[in-house]
Amino acid sequence: MRLRVNGVSCRYDSIRALEGVELSVNSGEFLGIIGPNGSGKTTLLKTISNILKPIVGSVLIDEQEVQSMSRMEVARKIAVVPQESQTSFNFTALEIVLMGRNPHMKPFAMEKSADLVIARQSMELTNCLFLENRHINDLSGGEKRRVLIARALVQDPSLLLLDEPTMNLDVGNQIELMEMITSLCKDRKITVLSAFHDFNLAARYSNNMLLLERGKIMSLGSPEEVLTRENLQKVFRVRSEVLAHPVTKLVVTVLSSLTTEDHEKKVNQVISS
64, β-bridge pairs:
61
Higher pLDDT pick, 201 / 141: 201
What value does the mean pLDDT take over residues 34-54? 95
Higher pLDDT pick, 270 / 28: 28
* Residue 271 pLDDT > 90: no
pLDDT confidence of 141, banded at 50, 70, 90? confident
What value does the mean pLDDT take over residues 250-257? 94
* Residue 89 pLDDT > 80: no
CATH architecture assigned to 3-226 = 3-Layer(aba) Sandwich (3.40)
Higher pLDDT pick, 48 / 103: 48
The candidate with the shortest Cα–Cα distance to 207, out of 59, 60, 27, is 27
pLDDT confidence of 105, banded at 50, 70, 90? confident
Sheet containing 191-195: order of strands: 78-81, 159-163, 191-195, 30-34, 208-213, 216-221
The candidate with the shortest Cα–Cα distance to 11, out of 67, 52, 58, is 52
**All structural domains of the chain with their residue ranges:** 3-226, 228-273
Neighbours of 111 (CB within 10 A): 15
The contacts of residue 35 (CB under 8 Å, 6+ apart) are 41, 211, 212, 213, 218, 235
With contact defined as beta carbons under 8 Å apart, do 227 and 250 qualify?
yes
Question: First-to-last CA distance in the chain?
Answer: 63
CA distance 122 to 100: 11
* Residue 85 pLDDT > 80: no
pLDDT confidence of 236, banded at 50, 70, 90? very high
CA distance 173 to 178: 8
Half-sphere exposure of 95 (CA within 13 A, CB side): 10
CA distance 9 to 215: 8
pLDDT confidence of 261, banded at 50, 70, 90? low
The candidate with the shortest Cα–Cα distance to 219, out of 12, 32, 16, is 32
Q: What is the pLDDT of residues 4-15, one digit of tens each?
A: 999 999 999 888
Helix 141-153 crosses helix 171-188 at what angle (to 10 degrees)? 10
Positive/negative CA dihedral, 129, 131, 137, 140:
negative
